[in-house]
Amino acid sequence: MPPLPDSFGVADGVLRLDPRDPEFYQDPYPAYGELHRQGGIARWAETGSLVVADHGTVSALLRDRRFGRILPAGLDGRPDYSDKPPHLADFYAIESRSLLDLEPPTHTRLRSLVTRAFVSRQIERLAPRIGEIANGLIDRFAADGEVELVEAFATPLPVRVIAELIGVPAADAPLLVDWSHRMVAMYQLGRTSAVEASANAAARDFAAYLRAVIADKRRRPAEDLVSALIAAESDGGRLDEAEMVATLALLLNAGHEATVHQIGNAVKAILESHREAAGLFSNADSTAVTVEECLRFDTPLHLFERVAQEPVTLRDGWQLQRGDRIALLLGAANHDPAVFERPGEFLAGRAAKPHVSFGGGIHFCIGAPLARLELAIALEALFKRLPTLSLAATPQYRDSWHFRGLERLALRFQIQGRLLKP
């Protein structure tokens, strides 16, 4: 068993863990395993919140309506961010209207609009286009014999897909990535004043960009999500422009941030498993099974916070008061040995059991169908066209937990002319 991080310890129901410890974020699974052995629930000293690791409790709390993403300020389910500092005004102007920071009834109204436009009408028809983008990216490096996959493939693929789906120019992808990274940095523990200033500036610029996109789509509507939301906005005033900006920012950020990490994590997992890739992607069923194991084995989101809406007593007598926060360790739940046999092994043929990589309940990831489709097409294209892929260097993870993703993924492969085109 790999050694535990120096910053990690569990004693008398208290967890000691610094998520910025490189020994932890490079490989959090030994710490998760020890937390399971210690009961799977503790008080996290560094955050003051309760932390839960076992699959059963995490899954139940994701669906428990006694918990929410926020403690709503009123009956409309909106947060009160009036106490936030002025230097974060632009960031919280978006967050206060984001689906992630809303509860019913406002959350219900916005999610229903996005679901109709984003999921039901759009996703399956994207498959051919996702394949075109994936193969076009592979064409750029297939004759080189080597590639740094995060920059050359894992990042541009989901960014271009979500940009086209929403209706913004693919040429603006670098802007979207930069704004997203800077805003997402706000969710890390121990953020600095520099991180806050950068996130607020990114939010301000992102909002201005989206308002310009919305104005253009009002003049020239198209078959995209912005145009669909504009139509919803005009239908009885159910969606105002500030809500539209926040919704689009969330979809653009979430629509690529996690998928970038998941593609890199999945490729690394497959290569390190030494499984024959041809068997993993031999047909639609085997591809689907492989995708689910990739999502379980090394999910890109390891923590999801909930807030108690009322006093709650959990298993083993653990108590929370209204307003108390609880950290649900999704990555740990996906490695719970009580649910998944040999959880630390990548076993694409394991019996299907529900992982929690997309959350659950009313905040279940709205982009899950798109994420699964992108991952299936990306992995199949890579391993079918470049069957000799191997690691060229030891992969290193970013200092970005609770988002788990690789800094770089250097690969090598043999050049085979017949495989340069799909």
Note whether 324 and 50 are within 8 A (CB): yes
Residue 318 domain-assigned?
no
390-391, strands of its sheet edge to edge: 146-148, 410-412, 390-391
Q: pLDDT class for 121, splitting at 50, 70, 90?
A: low
Global pTM value: 0.92
In a domain, 240, yes or no: yes
pLDDT tens, residue by residue, 258-287: 999 999 999 999 999 998 888 899 999 999
Beta bridge partners of 148: 410
Residue 396, classed as helix, strand or coil, is strand
| CATH, residue 92 | 1.10.630.10
Taking the C-alpha atoms of residue 65 and residue 46, their distance in angstroms, rounded to an integer, is 27
Other Cβ atoms closer than 10 A to 176: 24
- Name which residue leads in pLDDT, 136 or 255: 136
Cα separation, 219 vs 267, whole angstroms = 42
- The total of other beta-carbon atoms located within 10 Å of residue 269's CB is 18
The verdict on residue 46 lying in a domain is no
**Residue 315 domain-assigned?**
no
Kindly report the number of other CB atoms within 10 A of residue 407's CB atom.
Answer: 13
Decide if 48 is inside a domain: no
Q: Which domain does 404 fall in, by range? A: 73-300+345-419
Is 14 inside any structural domain?
Answer: no
Cα separation values, 172 from 203, 210, 346, Å: 16, 12, 36
- Is 61 inside a domain boundary? no
Q: Give the tokens for residue 304.
A: 């999801």
Query: How far apart are the C-alpha atoms of 155 and 260, rounded to whole Å?
Result: 5
CB atoms within 10 A of CB 390: 11
Counting the structural domains of the chain, the total is 1
Span 329-349, pLDDT tens digits: 999 999 999 999 999 999 988
Q: Is residue 21 part of a domain?
A: no
Q: For 172-223, how does the pLDDT look when each residue is reduced to its tens digit (9 = 90+)?
A: 988 988 999 899 889 887 789 999 999 999 999 999 999 999 999 999 999 8
User: Percentage of the chain surpassing pLDDT 90?
Assistant: 73
